[in-house]
Chains A and B, each alone.
Chain A
Amino acid sequence: MADGVKPRVKAPSKAAAGEAVVLKTLISHTMESGQRKNKDGSLIPRSIINRFTCDFNGKSVIDVEMHPAISTNPYFEFEAVIPETGELKFTWYDDDGSVYEDAKQVTVG
């Protein structure tokens, strides 16, 4: 499932030093649970994103282990502390080995 996967991230471009900012992420993905059956009655194989991570300047913000019970188009909202100007890096790991990435620059000023 490497087609049509589009990560979207909402992060502030500016922050005060040491401020906790709210980050919202959404990625379009079918998150096939492996429980559903197709018209012939056979199971549709599982195909999900199994891990999501967010780093700020190489320091981990959150690392989420995901199971099939996460909805289609996985959405996460969490907070990060921004001590200095830097880059937020978001990474999603697919069951099929694909890795989807996005990055946001945050300026302290």
Chain B
Amino acid sequence: MEFNRRETLALGLGAAAFVALPVRFAAAATGDEMIAAFTGGAAVADGGITLTAPEIAENGNTVPVAVSAEGASSVMILAMGNPTPGIATFNFGEAAGAHTASTRIRLAGTQDVVAIAKMADGSFARASSTVKVTIGGCGG
């Protein structure tokens, strides 16, 4: 079987697209995939959870965030624009006081931070906040 120049080029392009496509798809879907894995595909309502994050963060290496969700058994926080979207999952135990937690996170750039609470009754609540980041915090 012989290839002329045109066929060879087309073959090369096709192969490149085939290789590049799944990688890009996987990277883009992870945030939503993590939400789906956490909720099990259940509907997520707005409200019932408060996410406190700064509007503008000068340094993406330490961005203070706080979540508060009364009656939540666990809260997951995601940075949708980070190379790995997962930040943390807080599981509140029986000795927990008010179901609030705060920590400091890294953000690669301006993006949405999403918090999803799993309530004790099995329902889910969501809150999100856009944070503008002046200096990214993921190195590279």
Contacts and interface: CB of A to CB of B under 8 A. Distances in A.
Partners in one complex: yes
Interface stretch (A3-11, A65-73, A93-101): A65-73
A76 B62 contact: no
Interface in A11-44: 20-22, 33, 35-37
A72 B103 CA distance: 11
A20 B83 CA distance: 37
Interface in B77-103: 79, 82-98, 100-103
A63 interface: yes
A61 B93 contact: yes
B3 to A, nearest CB: 36
B91 A63 contact: yes
A25 to B, nearest CB: 10
B interface: dominant SS = strand
Nearest to A63: B91
A20 B95 CA distance: 9
A56 B92 CA distance: 12
B97 A81 contact: yes
A35 B31 CA distance: 17
Interface residues of B, number: 34
Interface residues of A, number: 32
Contacts of B132: none
Nearest to B76: A65
Contacts of A21: 97
B97 A80 contact: yes
Contact of B88 (A64, A79, A80): A64
Given A60-B91, A70-B105, 20 more contacts: A20-B98, A33-B106, A35-B140, A60-B93, A60-B94, A61-B93, A62-B101, A63-B90, A64-B90, A64-B91, A65-B88, A67-B84, A71-B63, A71-B106, A71-B137, A77-B101, A78-B100, A79-B100, A80-B97, A81-B97
